[in-house]
Amino acid sequence: MSSLNWTTDFLNQLNSTEFSIVPAFLPGDKTALWQIESTRWQQFSQYAIEQKLRWAAGWAEHAETVFIVNACFEKEGIYVLLRTRVNAGKPELPSQATVYPAANRSERHTQDMFGINFTGHPDNRRWTRHQAWPQHSYPLRKNYPVQGEPPAITPPDMDYPFVKSYGEGVYEIPVGPVHAGIIEPGHFRFQAVGELILNLEERLGYVHKGIEKIAEGRTPESLARLAGRVSGDTTVGHCWAACMAMEQAAGIEIPPRAALIRGILAEGERIANHLGDMGAICNDVAFIFAQMQFSRLRELWLRTNATIFGHRLLMDTIVPGGVACDLSEASCALIKQDVVRLRKELSELMPAIDLNSSLEDRLYTAGYLSPEIAEAFGTLGYVGLSSGQDFDVRRDAAYPPYDQVTFKVALEDQCDIASRFWVRYKQINAALKLIEQFIAQLKDGVNLNESQTLQAEWQTPQADSEGLGIVEGWRGEITAYIRFDAGNKIARYYPRDPSILNWPALEKLTLNNIVPDFPVCNKSLNGSYSGNDL
């Protein structure tokens, strides 16, 4: 089925089996909204996986006497937002995690935050709830105060039921949640024999920020600022997705010039983070020379960000309706100069890395993530691309300015740490070319010194207007759902960082590696703790 008709064909197939789905369309031309009875929730997922739909996101919302539960699926660049309603008196819903492993932690988060019981869930242990809330308090219900009801001292979370391993020579290694260095907290529990890892279990959520709760009641401008702080290394990606969702709900299109500048910002963010990750991967196997060089190149790139945009990490450069900053002739020249310099430096650095046999010994075949597991967990970005998952929102569900350019999506099939390293390098090269194309379009027939429209006039959305913003962040697909309340205020905001789907893959790619290889396995995935711990 082509991307133009598979939703219609699939809908007809489902309704022929008495699903009674009510179809509608969200703003935008690539997202369908299907209303379904709650009793059919899990059954739908069985049909969806047979038709090769990818499970992309899930979230809920409290609306008076009911909970609205959503799950987002994707195929061929078309998204289906599946929705059902659950009675708040006894909130139960059949689990989709029995069919889609990718839905596991999302459903556990919804269970913890709303009190919805996903029946038949393969692992219904608490996930987001450590000991910060009383047992029957649910922070995302509308009647729960934004400041919470914190005890004087939050009890330590000492009784989480980690999986146990038994047998002669089996032992446990607890790592974290507090780590050496400045990374955010996360706990990793290993079972091993000798140096061989038998099992790894993650425990995240230590930096829960209350993003979803404090988003309620905000203006679009305030929500955009909040979105840029979901994950500090992805300020452009999350802010763009949130603004796209709000713009859909408001029925506005951003100016072409603003779209081009957004593209330059997003590709710049991609380059800076990949440079940092490539250096960190080398550092974790003691190749310090490469780490120093990649860090130096990243620093030079970030300094140009600060010079041109006023912020090293590009915070608050994207705003509802467009962008907050323009690019002058001199700024474009400086960016192009950096592009040329980075290409030259990488051309000299990468052969030294490629020919380093000790680096090859540590990266090749280590951290293997099979294509089957990568698909089952819905892995995104460089994690998925390195295991044969050929998907990139910029190409497959193109949005301005990516719908005006062509580029090659990096893809690897060796499925190891080396693949994740080289996909990053290929994405840097593609990003450099995209920046050049966007700058060329900016300059094409336009005097950069003249005032250009950078923001569309905002139109206040009606109450209950909603939008789904989906962009390709540097870690992969970012999803942002927004529903408006009356008075131009936000009723619900849910951001899905790629890390939410990528983190579980770390537990799989670490198996059968040795304990000393865990740091580089972890860095090759580089999930965001903050992006996971909303």
pLDDT for 95-114, tens place per residue? 999 999 999 999 999 999 99
Lowest mean pLDDT among 133-147, 218-232, 441-455: 441-455
Selection from 324, 340, 344 nearest residue 332 by Cα: 340
Report DSSP state, residue 103.
G
Give the pLDDT mean for 347-354. Answer: 94
Report DSSP state, residue 170.
E
Query: 3-class SS at 465?
Result: coil
Q: Are strands 187-193 and 196-203 parallel, antiparallel or unpaired?
A: antiparallel
The percentage of residues in the chain with a pLDDT greater than 70, rounded to a whole number, is: 98
Lowest mean pLDDT among 2-6, 210-214, 526-530: 2-6
Give the tokens for residue 326. Answer: 């323009």
DSSP track, 253-308: ---HHHHHHHHHHHHHHHHHHHHHHHHHHHHTTT-HHHHHHHHHHHHHHHHHHHHH
- Sequence letter at residue 173: I
How confident is the prediction for the chain on average, in pLDDT? 92
Q: Return the residue matching tokens 């700058």.
A: 439
pLDDT band at residue 414 using 50, 70 and 90 as cut-offs: very high
The CA distance from 330 to 327, in Å, is 8
Q: Are strands 92-94 and 117-119 parallel, antiparallel or unpaired?
A: parallel
Cis peptide before 177 (omega within 30 of 0): yes
Give the pLDDT mean for 496-517. Answer: 96
Give the pLDDT mean for 134-138. Answer: 86
Q: Cα-flanking dihedrals φ and ψ of residue 69, to 5°?
A: -115, 135
Helix and strand counts by DSSP (H, E) for the chain? 17, 15
pLDDT at 158 over 90: no
Residue 209 or residue 18, greater confidence: 209
pLDDT for 291-329, tens place per residue? 999 999 999 999 999 999 999 999 999 999 999 999 999
Q: What is the pLDDT of residue 3?
A: 47
pLDDT for 7-54, tens place per residue? 888 888 888 887 888 887 777 778 889 999 999 999 999 999 999 999
Q: Return the residue matching tokens 């995302």.
A: 140
Determine how many CB atoms are found less than 10 A away from the CB of residue 17: 10
Class of domain 211-532: mainly alpha
Q: What is the pLDDT of residue 428?
A: 98
Q: Could you tell me the CATH superfamily of domain 6-119?
A: NADH:ubiquinone oxidoreductase Nqo5 subunit (3.30.460.80)
Domain boundaries, the chain: 6-119, 170-203, 211-532
- Sequence letter at residue 331: S
pLDDT at 265 over 60: yes
pLDDT at 369 over 80: yes
The percentage of residues in the chain with a pLDDT greater than 90, rounded to a whole number, is: 79
Side-chain-side CA neighbours of residue 143 (13 Å): 6
Which ranges constitute the DSSP H helices of 390-533?
393-396, 417-443, 499-509, 518-525, 529-532
pLDDT for 328-339, tens place per residue? 999 999 999 999
